[in-house]
Amino acid sequence: MKETTSFQLQQLQKDVEERMEYLDEQIEKATGELEEQLKEVRSELKKQRDVVEKEMERVKAATLDTWDQVISNVNKHYQEVRGKTNEISKKVREMLDD
């Protein structure tokens, strides 16, 4: 179970990092207000990546006694990060379409 949870978090981390890389490319092309907006959005993604990294550490440190609580928190944060990164991606698409 620990391995599966760790794998899922690694996949989420990879997804967030790929979105950050995409934003880095867009920031390089952007100027003015759009550039600043994209930098703010990238900062939001970095916060989400940090959440995933903290959850990965919690899973790694979990014991049999703490597992139920850890997995409950991981599931909650996983859903929150997934939702926020999807919202951020939508926001970026709207910014770039303008």
What global pTM score does this model have? 0.90
- What band does 98 get if pLDDT is binned at 50, 70 and 90? confident
> Are the CB atoms for 36 and 51 separated by under 8 Å?
no
Q: pLDDT at position 22, please? A: 96
pLDDT tens digit sequence for 25-77:
999 999 999 999 999 999 999 999 999 999 999 999 999 999 999 999 999 99
| pLDDT surpasses 90 at 1 | no
Which CB contacts under 8 angstroms, 24+ apart, belong to 77-85? 77/51, 77/52, 78/8, 78/9, 78/12, 80/51, 81/12, 81/16, 81/48, 81/51, 81/52, 82/12, 84/44, 84/48, 85/15, 85/16, 85/19, 85/45, 85/48
Q: Residue 16 pLDDT > 90, yes or no?
A: yes
pLDDT for 72 equals 95
